[in-house]
């Protein structure tokens, strides 16, 4: 219960943001939190709050497994600050840029490659990998 007290602000934020399927369990001196956030912004807010409570996640007493709600075929909005989002040939910043999606453009999710990179398709048919942090369900 001590870890739930330590991370009470994070748990409250997850509830306030409406994280679906929120599960919390304390086992072997580690707090496990899982669920599905409504957007990458909510996901980012939870991770930022975690870093605020435990800078650089140094204590190692929390396992947070939060997904972002989006399934293949979902329409996603590009949520960069104001610039275009690079679409790459592979899920890596080292991969070549094969296209761009404009700020606020709507794209289609092809697949979630992992938590960081999602394969998307633009309305122009450009297909490749984009950094998930800049994509939110429409």
Is 75-137 in the same CATH topology as 2-68?
Answer: no
Q: Does domain 75-137 have CATH number 2.30.30.40?
A: yes
Any idea which fold 2-68 has? Answer: Alpha-Beta Plaits (3.30.70)
- Number of other CB atoms surrounding residue 37 within 10 Å: 25
Domain residue limits, the chain: 2-68, 75-137
Cα 120 from chain centroid (whole Å): 15
Question: Structure pTM?
Answer: 0.58
| Residue pLDDT, tens place only, 66-107 | 877 777 788 999 999 889 999 999 999 999 999 999 999 999
Query: For 91, which DSSP code?
Result: S
What is the Cα–Cα distance from 118 to 19, expressed in whole angstroms? 20
Of the listed ranges 18-22, 51-55, 113-117, the one predicted with least confidence: 113-117
pLDDT at 133 (0 to 100):
87
């Amino acid at each position: 219960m001590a870890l739930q007290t330590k991370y009470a602000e994070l748990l409250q934020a997850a509830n306030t943001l409406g994280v679906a399927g929120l599960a919390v369990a304390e086992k072997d001196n580690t707090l496990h939190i899982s669920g599905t956030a409504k957007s990458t912004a909510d996901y980012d807010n939870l991770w930022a709050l975690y870093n605020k409570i435990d800078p650089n996640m140094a204590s190692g007493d929390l396992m947070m497994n939060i997904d972002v709600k989006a399934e293949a075929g979902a329409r996603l909005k590009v949520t960069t600050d104001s610039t275009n989002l690079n679409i790459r040939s592979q899920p890596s910043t080292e991969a070549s840029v094969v296209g761009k999606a404009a700020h606020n453009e709507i794209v289609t999710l092809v697949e979630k490659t992992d938590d960081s990179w999602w394969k998307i398709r633009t309305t122009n048919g450009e297909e490749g990998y984009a950094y998930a942090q800049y994509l939110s369900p429409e």
